[in-house]
């Protein structure tokens, strides 16, 4: 069995004689550390600068934004840690929502929306599988392959709908289970997000498969020579990324009660930015699901904070671009510091 030290073992190694003394050098090697500091700093800043930030309505709205982006980010982070990237997630987001709404409107029998939901997730899974085969069997860089898939999905949706929105007219079972308003304006999607973070964090850090994901993304050749089926690991990561993107899209469409081809545009960059803010190395082999969730929280807070400050929404896109550039620089520094390269 392959035993590869994961990032916890790298980051948390300390002198046993002083187990509770942490140096800054040790702390900054923890994937979640930087994201946690930034999250708390932004939270305090917006709480002090905008009193309405702490209102229940704003907090629950913020959680909704974070949950929908965060679910996609978890899948994207899993794949990036495995050494690949998926730019098609925003297209899958829109396609899954379209499939769900269309089928739910057609399947008028009881619980028809549940069958539509399952099919939408299976379609998302299939897209992830196709991505993996194009990348792994065709030897095409994942950046190019998934960018092509995103454009293909958007084009298909535009051709079918003509750019028109499709309203949801199915039964309320799945929309209620995914995003129905609960007590104090909380939504089930908030708790689905938390559950997904816990489950995939456990898978990544406490299972053999997670160990293999780190090995595949960090030292592909070494993992291969030690018996890891690298292609199978990467294919599974592609399918995880795509399926979670489809789930995120279905949740959003259930909240809006309509599907539109423009939904999710640019979210692939937000998810990547959230992942790298959360401590995931773009080169693979290092990262954290909890850090990715914190990264999604930071993105959500900035988006909400800019709106509350009356700043035009396009400045948020500028922020995402700046974050991606800074993240690329920080990633290079982190790789040299942590991996000694």
CATH number at residue 210: 1.10.3470
Residue 41 placed within a domain: no
CA–chain centroid gap for 187, Å, is 19
The pLDDT confidence band at residue 331, using thresholds 50, 70 and 90, is low
- Residue whose entry in the numeric block shows the structure tokens 């423009």: 262
Is residue 311's pLDDT more than 80?
no
In a domain, 4, yes or no: no
Give pTM, 2 decimals: 0.88
Q: Are 142 and 85 in contact (CB under 8 A)?
A: yes
pLDDT for 66:
96
Number of domains, the chain: 1
Which residues have C-beta within 8 Å of that of residue 258, sequence separation ≥ 6? Answer: 101, 165, 166, 167, 168
Rounded CA-CA distance 148/150 in Å is 5
Closest CA to 189 of 248, 136, 149: 248
The total number of residues written for the chain in this structure: 341
The whole domain housing 173 covers 50-338
Does 97 map to a domain?
A: yes
Q: Does 254 reside within a domain?
A: yes
Answer yes or no: is 195 within a domain: yes
Report if residue 269 sits inside a domain: yes
pLDDT on residue 309: 73
What are the pLDDT digits (tens) for 227-280?
899 999 999 999 999 999 999 999 999 999 999 999 999 899 999 999 988 888
């Amino acid at each position: 069995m392959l035993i590869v030290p994961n990032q916890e073992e790298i980051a948390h190694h300390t002198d046993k004689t002083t187990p509770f003394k942490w140096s800054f050098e040790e702390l900054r090697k923890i994937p979640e550390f930087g994201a946690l500091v930034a999250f708390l700093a932004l939270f305090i800043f917006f709480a002090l600068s905008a009193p309405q930030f702490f209102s229940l309505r704003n907090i629950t709205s913020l959680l909704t934004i974070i949950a929908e982006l965060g679910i996609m980010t978890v899948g994207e982070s899993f794949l990036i840690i495995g050494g690949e990237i998926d730019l098609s997630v925003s297209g899958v987001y829109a396609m899954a929502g379209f499939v769900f709404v269309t089928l739910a409107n057609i399947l008028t029998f009881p619980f028809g929306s549940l069958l539509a939901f399952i099919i939408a997730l299976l379609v998302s899974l299939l897209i992830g599988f196709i991505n993996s085969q194009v990348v792994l069997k065709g030897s095409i860089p994942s950046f190019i392959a998934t960018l092509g898939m995103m454009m293909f999905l958007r084009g298909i949706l535009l051709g079918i709908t003509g750019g028109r929105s499709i309203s949801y007219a199915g039964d309320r079972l799945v929309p209620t289970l995914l995003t129905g308003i609960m007590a104090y304006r909380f939504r089930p999607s908030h708790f689905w997000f938390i559950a997904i973070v816990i489950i995939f964090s456990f898978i990544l850090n406490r299972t053999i498969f997670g160990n293999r994901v780190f090995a595949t993304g960090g030292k592909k050749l070494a993992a291969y020579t030690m018996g890891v089926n690298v292609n199978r690991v990467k294919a599974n990561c592609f399918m995880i990324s795509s399926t979670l993107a489809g789930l995120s899209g279905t949740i959003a469409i259930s909240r809006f009660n309509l599907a539109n081809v423009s939904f999710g545009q640019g979210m692939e960059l937000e998810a990547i930015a959230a992942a790298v803010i959360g401590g995931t190395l773009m080169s693979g082999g290092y990262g954290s699901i909890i850090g990715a969730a914190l990264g999604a929280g930071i993105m959500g807070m900035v988006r909400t904070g800019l709106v509350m400050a009356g700043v035009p929404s396009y400045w948020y896109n500028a922020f995402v671009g700046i974050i991606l550039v800074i993240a690329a620089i920080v990633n290079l520094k982190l790789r040299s510091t942590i991996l000694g390269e």
